[in-house]
Each structure stands twice: as C-alpha cells, then as structure tokens.
Structure 1
Amino acid sequence: MLTISREADYALLLISQLKKNKELTPLSVMIKNTRLPKRFLARIASKLAKAKLLKSREGKIGGYSLNANWQKTNLFDFLLIFEKHLDIVKCSKSHYQCNFKSICSHSQSLRNKIHTGFVNSLKSMTLQEIFEKGQLNS
C-alpha cells in the first residue's frame, strides 16, 4: 500500500493548526494542541521553515506562522520535503537498472500511465485546495 510518512501527515496537521491563528504560535502551544513529541514537531516545523512554508522567530516571543506562499504549494512539492521518493514502483525512475527488464511486460505501462498520473495529480492539487475541500479537517 502506498502511504505518506507520518512526518508528512503530521506536517499537514501542523499547518492546519497554524491556519487557525494568524499570529506567531509557540511550539509549546502546538505540542499541547497536537500532543506530538517536542523533538518530532520541532523537526517538522524546521523542515517547513527551511522550505519557506513557515516563518519562524526564536526567543520568548517566538514561534511559527504560515508564509503567504503556503497556499500555492502543490502537494507533490510539499511531500518531497519529507519523502525521499514519490514513486509507485522503483522502475519509474529513468536511471533504475532492473534485473527483469528483458522479461517484464508491465513496467512501461506502470511508468507511463500510473506513475505519470499519480505525479500529475499531486502537482495539480495545492495545499489550500486540500484544506478548502475539507479533505483535511482543520
């Protein structure tokens, strides 16, 4: 089964929490609201800030808030922040050397139809659309 990582899933949860508050939200508040471990949530927030989806400020009055561009980020680019690969099958990568290439009759179809459709679908959906359509409760 194809699933996203817990880290990517929790990153969406973090965004849904920050979406509710226009001001800086301290990490401690997000920990209280989500009940996620501090180190794990801090690592997720750091990755989102590095990807320019979050603004961060250190110190007593510090915290995190959403950058204006978060809404325009497509799901494919968002998932790549947390996932090493977004492949349905290993052979979808052009440089992959398959031991069964000479006898395989399905890799071309998987690569051309399913993988391409999967990637295009992720690229066509923005984070804003996901939250607006109620596909993720906020």
Structure 2
Amino acid sequence: MKVSQAGAVAAMIGLVLTASGCGGDDGKGDISIGIKFDQPGVGMREPDGTFTGFDVDVATYVAKDLGYKPGHITFKQVQSSDRELLLQYNEVQFVAASYSINDKRKEKVDFAGPYFLAHQDLLVRADDNSITKPEDLN
C-alpha cells in the first residue's frame, strides 16, 4: 500500500526477523525492539525503568504474536537519526517509533504498516482570524 500525505505517519520499520533473530515457537528466546524513550504516551522510559506508551504496547503485541514473552523483550532507545542503523547493524529486530513512510526510506527499510496515522496541525491564537489556510503564512 502506498502512503503519501503531509502528516507524520508512525510506522514500524523493517519487521526483519531472520532465523537467527527469532526465538522460536517456545517463547524462550529474546528479542530487541527499538523505541523512543522520550515521548510520553507513545514511547517513554519511566523513572522506575519500565516502558510505557502506544508504541510499547504495539511492539509488545507484535513480539507476543511472534512467540516472545514480555520478560524476553529488550527495548533499545532509538533516535530519529539512527533507526535505520539499528536495523542495519542488527541491534534490534524491528523498530516501533514515529517514522514517515516515503519512497526514499522504502529503499532502505521495509515497512510493516502504518499502524497509526497522525495528522499534524498548525495551532494559532483563538482570536487571530488572519490565518485560515497554509498560504496565509507566506
């Protein structure tokens, strides 16, 4: 499916599970998943060391469906600039983090999504009627 839109598209990148990366059907293997650690509600490392947020829930669900138990998941922090590198160097089996899908990125990674569409908006003062469309910002 081709996805092209101006808004950000959160997508899992490169669900690249090879035989060496899989833990088997018994659920006893380990899996490393890349997430962002600094986005409350999406991907957050809490002060007690646990991980919370939508991307964490999606990643845990996918890992469970692949046969991994929650105790066998290691979350690794990804920055926007290193998501592809973590996959390339086998630091993680997949990444669940915001990432716009475009043709240039499709040349580097495979997408298994999108699993969430986020539309970006522009906030203006409630009493400012001079901005009603993008062209008004020129």
- What's the TM-score, normalizing by structure 2? 0.27
Higher strand share: 2
- What's the TM-score, normalizing by structure 1? 0.27
If asked which structure has higher relative contact order (CA below 8 Å, sep 6+), I would say: 2
Higher helix share: 1
